[in-house]
Copies of this chain bind each other. A is one copy, B any other.
Amino acid sequence: MCSNSRSDEQKCLFCNYERARHICENQYAYAIFDNFPVNRGHVLVIPKRHFESFFEASEEEITAIYSLIKEVKERVDWDYRPLGYNIGINIGKTAGQTIAHVHIHIIPRYEGDVDNPRGGIRNLKKALIEYNG
């Protein structure tokens, strides 16, 4: 089923995101700060083309997204000095995807932000569990 109609794009938050708020961008993707950050410096990397599932990305989009992720990391390293990162993607409503336009979470991690960091994405601080974004 194709969700890539013109009317989907007209309604889509990420198809209409204010360009002045882009942190950085390239031909196929852009990056913004998450409006409901789960940690300082939480960024979203978003393909410019409107599509819902990460599994639909083209090879050009994947390499552009990866390039932008690395650019974001350099910027966030400089500005926030995190000690690690979690990268996360939700695919489908059952997996928590609430906006039907692919977005990749880049979440910086800091010493002591959870009691025990083992478990990674499966063990983020309680605030993350209360997050509804």
Footprint of B on A, CB under 8 Å? 38, 54-55, 57, 59, 62-63, 66, 69-70, 73, 82-98, 105, 109-111, 113, 117-124, 128-133
Contacts and interface: CB of A to CB of B under 8 A. Distances in A.
Oligomeric state, in number of copies?
Answer: 2
A132 to B, nearest CB: 5
A120 to B, nearest CB: 3
A90 B128 contact: no
A72 to B, nearest CB: 10
Given A63-B63, A86-B90, A91-B84, A123 B111 contact: no
Nearest to A83: B94
Contacts of A131: 119, 122-123
